[in-house]
Structure 1
């Protein structure tokens, strides 16, 4: 079965009452955890972006503390898992400032992790890819924010 187009969905949703829309949203949230997480963000956290960023940073701290650091294979696997979750939170927000701030924090945590990421080329590649993504996102921000974020990025990159 082929899903309807976005336009078809919009047209159909116009005709629904508030109660019917509420029921559809609740039904959507039952099927996938991501739908429920997105709905949670939109209803409870989108009005306080700084608080949302702080919660995600705390989540990142916990995840980095739980990484199995016995060898670089497990470190890389854990790092990729954390990064995938961060990207999901960035998609919920859709704000470039949030994207830059969360990726900067991820790079900071990765850079300060023990054992050092410098001994694994694959982990360095993850770091460098995120730095490139941060630079792209920074270029889309207001000039004042660009300056502030570039200073922060330079601190992370130069912090050997």
Structure 2
């Protein structure tokens, strides 16, 4: 079965009654956890972005505190899980400045954890990949934001 285009779906949704649209949304939310998380963000958290970002950063800090650093393998798995969650949250927000903020917090926590050293090239590669992603995202922002975020990035990479 071939999925319809976004345009076709939009047209069909506009033709439906509001009660039917609500039914479709509720049915969609039941199928995947990510759908439920996205709808929850849009309904309850989208209007207070800074508080939502603060909550994500706090959750990220607790996850960094719980990393098993006994072996590089376990540390890498934990770091990838935290990064996957961070990327998912930034997709929900759909704001490049917020994504930069979350990735900067990730890199800052990684740097503070002491895991991103030359002794673990796998973890160093994760760190450097996020730094390059941040630089690319910063380039697409407004000039004032670029300056602010580049200063934060320099602080993180310099220490």
TM-score when scaled to structure 1? 0.95
| Corresponding residue for residue 81 of structure 2 | 81
Which residue does 1:19 correspond to in 2? 19
RMSD: 1.1
Q: CA deviation at 1:115?
A: 4.7
Structure 2: unaligned runs, 5 residues or longer? none
Q: Report the TM-score when normalising by structure 2.
A: 0.96
Give the paired residue count: 159
State the match for 2:97 in structure 1.
Answer: 97
- Alignment map for 1:2-151 (pairs within 5 Å): 2-115=2-115, 117-151=117-151
Contact 1:60 1:106 in 2 (8 A): yes
Q: Which runs of 4+ in 1 moved over 4 A?
A: none
Contact map agreement 2:76 2:122 (CA 8 A) in 1 = yes
Question: What runs of 5+ residues in structure 1 fail to find an aligned partner?
Answer: none
How far is the alpha carbon of 1:57 from its aligned partner? 0.3
Q: Which moved more, 1:121-130 or 1:5-14?
A: 5-14
For residues 62-118 of structure 1, give each alpha carbon's deviation from its aligned partner in whole angstroms, at most 9, with x where no partner exists: 211121111111101100111011000010111011010000000000011145533
